[in-house]
Amino acid sequence: MMTSLVGHSDTNGSEDTGHLTVTFAYNFWENLNSRGPSLRFGTSHIYNNYYDNMVDCINIRKSAKALVENNVFAGSSAKGLYSVDGTGSAQASGNDFGSASDSIDSTTLSMEYTYSLKDAGDVASYVQSNAGATL
């Protein structure tokens, strides 16, 4: 289990803006209250992650932006992709939200690197088999 907070303070925008870029791929987020991840002031790419029994999943706030692709939300409550303060935005596609919501403002965002997406139908099985220490 893991949680992640990117951007250490709601009041630290002058230091963090333009300096926080994080990719979250192939993570298994399970039985957590929130922060899968929570992002302030930065840019994030969140793809092919599996969320199971979460309360609040992806929180994009404080003018942060995210590209959110092909994630799966199983057994998660109302907040799949959202902005707690209404200032975050995301470009979301290919996600299986199940009963979770996608209530964030839309933006256009692309990444400057090459990556391959798993189909959302394959994410749960792949992530549960491969996430974590595999050495």
Q: How confident is the model at residue 135 (pLDDT cuts 50, 70, 90)?
A: low
Residue 35 annotated to the active site: yes
Q: Is 134 helix (H, G, I), strand (E, B) or coil?
A: coil
Q: Which residues pair with 105 in a beta bridge?
A: 89
pLDDT of residue 11: 82
Q: CA 70, CA 50: separation in Å to the nearest integer?
A: 9
Give the residues across from 93 on adjacent strands. Answer: 69
Q: Check 24, 29, 32, 35 and give the catalytic one.
A: 35
Domain ranges for the chain, please list them: 1-8+19-104
Is the per-residue pLDDT at 103 higher than 70?
yes
The contacts found for 119-125 with CB under 8 angstroms, 24 or more apart, are 119/70, 119/94, 120/70, 120/71, 120/72, 120/94, 120/95, 120/96, 121/96, 123/48, 123/49, 123/50, 123/70, 123/71, 123/72, 123/96, 124/50, 124/72, 124/74
Strands 56-61 and 72-74: unpaired
Confidence tier at 97 by pLDDT (50, 70, 90)? very high
CA distance 17 to 28: 28
Using the Cα atoms of residue 83, residue 86, residue 87 and residue 90 in order, give the sign of their dihedral: positive
**pLDDT surpassing 90 at residue 133:** no
- Average pLDDT of every residue of the chain: 91
